[in-house]
């Protein structure tokens, strides 16, 4: 199974989880919908769309939970004719993640839930601490962030894009 | 709330050496009802026992051996015995030294009571 991750510490626990739970596909994503790791996704399934939809579904279920019993629901399961999915969150030192797992009759909800518990434990144990909390990417910061990143990538002290087109930009306070 | 399976599970758990008895959905691997001794992980047992039973059933069918009537797994620190009716798997987890013959008789009797 092909696994790709944005952060290397995720790969081993995710690989073990997918193998043990016999899942078809798995995605680990930030609650905003940004993908952190993917396993077993084929071209037929668009990862970006799956992440956005999974994050939206999880947020919706969370809000329903808050309205019904004062706190967000921890997990969500849907069963189709052939495929099922399980959506749940994992907490680590780097914050909360959502895991979207697709499985079929080779596995079962019980197995997926059981191994998901193990995945949460492993992720919590292996996640390196964030040195400073990440700031959300705001539209007002976008141009300055972009310029800074392009400068870092393509070098030198000169601005790569737009020259002086930084009207209205607001610098982020130093951490 | 009292479950209709409670007397069945009580009968099984009363047997000497039995640490847990569970009724599990084979398809989902989820616990329907259980009597689990302190320290045993019911959800984990249920998921694994249902998975093992399903694999055994499919293997027996593929080998043209027919339906699985009784499944026994002996391990270093205990044993798992299981029987099935429809989607429900009746699972007993017992000590390694427990009398399997007795457990088997009780499991088959209990199976009759599950409708």
Q: Which of B31, B44, B50 sits opposite A108 (nearest CB)?
A: B50
User: A69, exposed or middle or buried, with CB in 10 Å at 0-12, 13-18, 19+?
Assistant: exposed
Q: Does B89 touch chain A (CB under 8 A)?
A: no
Is residue B72 classed as helix, strand or coil in its secondary structure?
strand
The pLDDT value recorded for residue A162 is: 44
Q: Which CATH number fits domain A3-126: 1.20.1290.10, 3.40.50.720, 3.40.30.10, 3.30.450.30?
A: 3.30.450.30
ipTM of the complex: 0.81
Which chain A residues in 88-147 lie under 8 Å from chain B, judged by CB atoms?
Answer: 107-111, 113-114
Q: Residue A77 corresponds to which tokens in the numbers above?
A: 């399961």
Chunked in runs of 10, what are the mean pLDDT values of chain A (175 residues)? 83 93 93 90 80 92 92 90 93 90 93 94 87 68 81 64 43 46
Report, as an integer, the average pLDDT of B12-25: 92
How far apart are the CA of B93 and the nearest CA of chain A, in angstroms? 18
* Closest to A145 in 3D by CA, of A163, A171, A123, A122: A171
Whole-number average pLDDT of chain B: 91
Is B1 inside a domain boundary?
A: no
Q: State the DSSP string of A99-158.
A: EEEEE-TTS-HHHHHHHHHHHHHHHHHHPPPPSSPPPP--HHHHHHHHHHHHHHHH-SSS
Residue B109 lies in a domain: yes
B residues 53-82 near A, CB within 8 Å? 54
- Helix crossing, B42-62 with A109-126: angle to 10°? 130
Contact A67, A81 (CB under 8 A): no
Q: How high is the pLDDT of residue A174?
A: 46
- CATH number of the domain bearing residue B18: 3.30.450.30
Distances (CA, A) of A66 to A61, A88, A89, B13, B49: 9, 15, 15, 39, 34
Tokens of A112: 């997926």
Q: Tell me what pLDDT residue A136 has.
A: 65
The pLDDT value given to residue A169: 43
Question: Which residues span the domain enclosing B27?
Answer: 6-113
pLDDT at A60: 92
pLDDT value at residue A95: 85
**How are beta strands B18-25 and B31-36 bridged, if at all?**
antiparallel
Domain residues of chain A, as ranges? 3-126, 137-175
Say if B46 falls within a structural domain: yes
Contact B34, B23 (CB under 8 A): yes
The pLDDT value recorded for residue A165 is 41
pLDDT reading at B115 higher than 90 = no
Number of domains in chain B: 1
Across the interface, do A114 and B50 touch by the CB < 8 Å criterion?
Answer: no
Looking at the complex, report in whole angstroms how far the Cα of residue A115 sits from the nearest Cα belonging to chain B. Answer: 9
Percent of chain B with pLDDT over 70: 98
pLDDT digit string, tens, across residues B41-81: 889 999 999 999 999 999 999 999 999 999 999 999 999 99
pLDDT for residue A68 = 93
In a domain, B41, yes or no: yes
* Cα–Cα distance measured from residue B41 to residue A59, given in angstroms and rounded to the nearest whole number: 30
Of the candidates B25, B27, B43, which has its C-beta nearest A114's C-beta? B43
Distance of CA A41 to the CA centre of its chain: 14
Q: What span, in angstroms and rounded, lies between the C-alpha atoms of B46 and B22?
A: 7
> What is the per-residue DSSP string for A18-76?
HHHHT-SEEEEE-TTS-EEEEES--TTS-HHHHHHHHHHHHHHHHHHHHHHHSS--SEE
Q: Does B44 touch chain A (CB under 8 A)?
A: yes
pLDDT in the model for residue A41: 77
**Structure tokens belonging to residue A143:** 């141009």
pTM reported for the whole predicted model = 0.76
Return the CA Rg of chain B. Answer: 13
């Amino acid at each position: 199974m092909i696994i790709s991750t944005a952060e290397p510490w995720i790969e081993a626990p995710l690989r073990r989880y997918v193998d043990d739970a016999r899942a078809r596909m798995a995605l680990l994503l930030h609650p905003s919908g940004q993908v952190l790791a993917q396993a077993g996704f084929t071209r037929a399934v668009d990862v970006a769309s799956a992440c956005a939809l999974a994050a939206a579904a999880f947020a919706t279920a969370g809000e329903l939970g808050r309205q019904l019993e004062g706190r967000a629901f921890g997990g969500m399961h849907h069963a189709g004719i052939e495929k099922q999915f399980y959506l749940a969150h994992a907490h680590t030192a780097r914050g909360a993640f959502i895991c979207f797992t697709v499985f079929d009759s080779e596995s079962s909800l019980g197995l997926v839930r059981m191994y998901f518990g193990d995945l949460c434990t492993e992720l919590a144990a292996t996640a390196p601490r964030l040195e400073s909390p990440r700031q959300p990417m705001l539209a007002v910061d976008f141009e300055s962030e972009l310029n800074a990143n392009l400068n870092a990538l393509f070098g030198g002290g000169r601005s790569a894009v737009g020259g002086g087109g930084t009207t209205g930009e607001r610098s982020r306070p130093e951490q | 709330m009292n479950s209709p399976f409670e007397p069945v599970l009580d009968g099984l758990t009363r047997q000497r050496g039995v640490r847990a008895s569970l009724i599990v959905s084979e398809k989902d691997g989820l616990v329907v009802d259980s009597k689990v001794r302190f320290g045993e992980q019911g959800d984990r047992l249920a998921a694994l026992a249902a998975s093992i039973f399903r694999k055994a059933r499919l293997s027996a069918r593929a080998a043209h051996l027919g339906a699985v009537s009784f499944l026994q797994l002996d391990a270093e620190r205990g044993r798992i015995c299981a029987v099935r009716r429809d989607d429900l798997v009746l699972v007993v987890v017992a000590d390694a030294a427990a009398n399997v013959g007795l457990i088997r008789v009780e499991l088959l009797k209990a199976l009759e009571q599950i409708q």
